[in-house]
Amino acid sequence: MKMVKLTSVAVMATLLISAVAPSANAVESTDLAKKAAQMKSLEKISNDSKGKEEVSWNEEKSVPKFVVGEISNKKLKQAKDSLQVMEENKALFDMKSASSELKLISESKDDLGFTSFKYQQVYQGIPVYGNELILHADKDGNTTSVNGYYDPEVKEKKIRTKAKYLADKAIAKAKKETKLSDVKSFDIENSKLVIYEDNKKKHRLVYQVTLSTVESNEPAYFDVFVDAQNLKVVHSVNKATHATGTGKGVLGDNKSFNTLSSSGTYYLQDSTRNLKTYTARNSANENLLPGTLLSDSDNYWTDGAAVDAHTYAAEVYDYYKTKFNRNSFDGNGAAIKSTVHFGRNFNNAYWNGAQMIYGDGDGSTFVPLSGALDVVGHEITHAVIERSANLVYENQSGALNESFADVLGNLIEDRDNGWLLGEDIYTPSVSGDALRSMSNPESQGDPAHMDDYKNLPNTREGDWGGVHTNSGIPNKAFVNFVETSGITRDNAGKVWYRALTSYMTSRSDFDDARNATIQAATDLFGSSSTEVTAVTNAWAAVGVGSPADGGSGPTTDAYESNDSISTAYGPITSGKDYSAYIGSSSDVDWFKFSTGSTGSINLSLSNLPADYDLYLYNASGTVLSNSENGNTSSESISYSSASAGTYYVKIAGYNGAKSTSQAYKLNATFAGSSSGSEQESKWNYETKSFETPHPYSNNYNNGNSHTYTKAGAQKVALHFSSLETESGYDFVYIKDKNGSVKETYSGSKSAFWVIVDGDTITSNLVTDSSVNANGYVIDQVAYFK
Ligand code: L5Q
Ligand code: ZN
Ligand code: CA
């Protein structure tokens, strides 16, 4: 603020003249009289303030806009004293009458004990827009300053104060002006008459129409000034602003994101990307979607599910925009709406054709599902797929729909060697597991090769022909492609996106996806490119089509990524041949196995394309034996009297030796496994029928009657085709072999699997003394062995 120090009346007069009429040649006598009165008023303040006053001027209107000093020798204790003080100083502001031109609009006391009185300038009782004065007093009631704007010209203008048009006409005009005529609900829709000075310095009687809504595409919090005599729009201003919110995600991580500030409230809306994030407030009623746009009073957001749905949607939007120049899922900037807190304990997330929906999870199987970037990427990709290939959600086209959603979700999340889906939100108490694995689908019971394709029924129960199961096959093809030497994640992503958006159609099957990706790679990189060969071989390795021509055979490695002891492939089977590649100078391959009893371990490494070496390690990572022959000589290790336990095998190229065209062959024999014919561990399925009565009765407890045991199994699982209990009162407990409760369900759930470690699993329904529901049906069991 510019302050002018007044030390004497003479100086003051000089300043006044120069400030008031810098370019006027002749100053009119009425003006001179006014100025004399202003100076007299200031002189008094100067005397009372012992020369310590300071004044800043509103030069346009020739009145003060900030006066510091003793404004009055009266003590200021209450509102009516304050108006008297303003009356005392009316000459200073060139007012006729403070009581008729000022209206007290607020009075407040602050932490320092200061009192202030705020006045609205009025003209015949009508507010003069933008003109308010505040009078201040210290804790003892001594006046200390007066500041603000007062327009002395208004009273001279003879403004007609009776409106020709009614307010509703002005509101309609304002809506038209701001393109909000079709909006159904406004958070603010009001109007008031004000005196408004337009940019040509003309004073008019206008309706100040305020419109605030979150229904429009752009943030809308308008003040529209509509002339009350002719309905002309004099001025319009949008007060809604882009803001930056901060908050914590589901996993407690801090982040910042775009919000919208409108009439004192912040909304979870990103107007640059057209994202809106809502809450279903735990309702599972799809008819009420999208629910309530999330809002916050201070722009610090503590709803982790909401923060992540919003921030991850922005990351997904940016990925599609920057990588593929795709503006939103439809390529045309469609609003990306996300609703969190859908239902209670809802263990899923989905795209419903109009928006994303996220459950909160039950806290044990899932935490809020928006907490994982790959899950958000997966769901928004379903929308992209719908607006491009539109893959039918059943059988192979459905599995491709799921797989492309997984692939893009994984590309967007972009973790080193991270081929897991949903690891951030799945089973918070179990680390390292996930909803699905793209590199090792079998670890979750999903196939990784056409030989293991699951022909499940095309029903809800059968997951529409196993769309979330058989997706393992194209997922593994994508991993094979990326892990081929010379292929980058980025280029693999370009091939998959181009295949999806340029070549695939609604009924595309795996073979069509193979053709689409080969053609996309040809368009992008040329017909004899590494990419074309690699993508062809990537599909061949999962049993879709033949390997690329050229006689070099598949260059994909079925056992990657196994570059460290912690990612060792296995357990491998005694007596079986494993063919794999040392694909780059930094590649090393690890395998593992377990022996059941003391005995010898024999390793052989043959068919070597270059100088590879062989090592045997124990479970703590110590080398037990090595074989380091030169050139392409085979390697072998015989280690006798090895005790029962886990062992690791390492294969490394000597001095960077490698080959992407010729596979080596590894064979290990060891004790405790039945003569080399042992099966690799996998999930095996059996039909089973365990049902509660429908409905069940009060005080019901079926104890251990629904128990499934498979001798020697590492894990066992139950498939519930339906489950319904009185939420919060009747419970289904899932117990393991020790009778420990591993999961608890209550309320309604659609079909799901539950898995426990060990060879035994029990489902136990316990109900209370009132209200019955349908209970459950278990139709399938499975064991992992
Ligand atoms: C699934 C989406 C996600 N849901 N998998 C049945 O099996 C079924 C649904 C899903 F958010 F959980 F990832 O992927
Ligand atoms: Zn999906
Ligand atoms: Ca009950």
Give the pLDDT of residue 673.
54
Instruction: Label residue 217 by pLDDT band (50, 70, 90).
Output: low
Burial of 74 per CB tally in 10 Å (0-12, 13-18, 19+): middle
Burial of 169 per CB tally in 10 Å (0-12, 13-18, 19+): middle
| Least confident window among 44-58, 190-204, 539-553, 695-709 | 539-553
Give, for 23, the enclosing helix (H) or strand (E).
none
Q: How far apart are CA 765 and CA 730, in angstroms?
A: 7
Which is nearest to 133 in space by CA: 73, 67, 69?
67
User: What distances in angstroms separate CA 711 from CA 178, 433, 457, 743, one per listed residue?
Assistant: 72, 24, 29, 22
Tell me how crowded residue 63 is: count the other CB atoms within 10 A of its CB.
21
Centre of ligand 1 to C-alpha 371, Å, is 14
Centre of ligand 2 to C-alpha 153, Å, is 68
Please give the full DSSP string across 727-745, using - where no structure is assigned: TTTSEEEEE-TT--EEEEE
pLDDT tens for residues 385-407?
A: 999 999 999 999 999 999 999 99
Please give the full DSSP string across 249-262, using - where no structure is assigned: -TTS-EEEEEEEEE
* Beta bridge partner(s), residue 645: 595
Give the pLDDT of residue 715.
84
pLDDT tens for residues 28-41?
A: 677 888 899 999 99
pLDDT tens for residues 82-135?
A: 999 999 999 999 999 999 999 999 999 888 889 999 999 999 999 999 999 999
Which ligand 1 atom is the nearest neighbour of the CA of 369?
11
Which is nearest to 582 in space by CA: 648, 653, 643, 515?
653
Which ligand 1 atom is the nearest neighbour of the CA of 405?
14
User: What distances in angstroms separate CA 541 from CA 492, 526, 561, 651, 702, one per listed residue?
Assistant: 16, 22, 15, 22, 48
Centre of ligand 3 to C-alpha 696, Å, is 9
Q: How far apart are CA 193 and CA 177, in angstroms?
A: 18
Give, for 669, the enclosing helix (H) or strand (E).
strand 664-669
Closest ligand to 727 CA?
Answer: 3
Residue 372 CB less than 6 A away from ligand 1: no
Q: How far apart are CA 117 and CA 110, in angstroms?
A: 12
pLDDT tens for residues 168-190?
A: 999 999 999 999 999 998 989 99
Query: Is the separation of the CB atoms in 776 and 691 below 8 Å?
Result: yes
Give, for 661, the enclosing helix (H) or strand (E).
none
Q: How far apart are CA 630 and CA 652, in angstroms?
A: 13
AA letter at 432:
G
Give, for 357, the enclosing helix (H) or strand (E).
strand 356-358
Residue of minimum CA distance from atom 11 in ligand 1: 349
